[in-house]
Amino acid sequence: MSNMNVWVVTWQSSAYAPIGNQKIPLRREQKMFGSEKKAVNFAMSLDETCHMTVQLHLPFGQIAELPSIEQIYAEYQKGV
């Protein structure tokens, strides 16, 4: 996929590593998509823990946070 057509969803892994008395998140996960709609649908399907940390990286460098992703998703739902 060319960078011009890639939407990347990132989220904080719900897995934790015990370090001393703390639990540290293992890593941010990511998944690439060829369409905004598929990326948004995936972002909204994440479990609650991951869902709260989701970001949508748009093809031209902008990053959408959860409230924007929810708004885009709502627009898709109106068009169903």
What is the share, in percent, of the chain residues with pLDDT greater than 90?
A: 57
pLDDT digits (tens, 9 = 90+) for 28-52: 899 999 999 999 999 999 988 888 8
Q: What is the pTM of this model?
A: 0.80
What does the alpha-carbon distance between residue 53 and residue 50 come to, in Å, rounded to a whole number?
Answer: 5
Has residue 11 got a pLDDT over 90?
A: yes
| Average pLDDT rounded to a whole number, residues 5-31 | 82
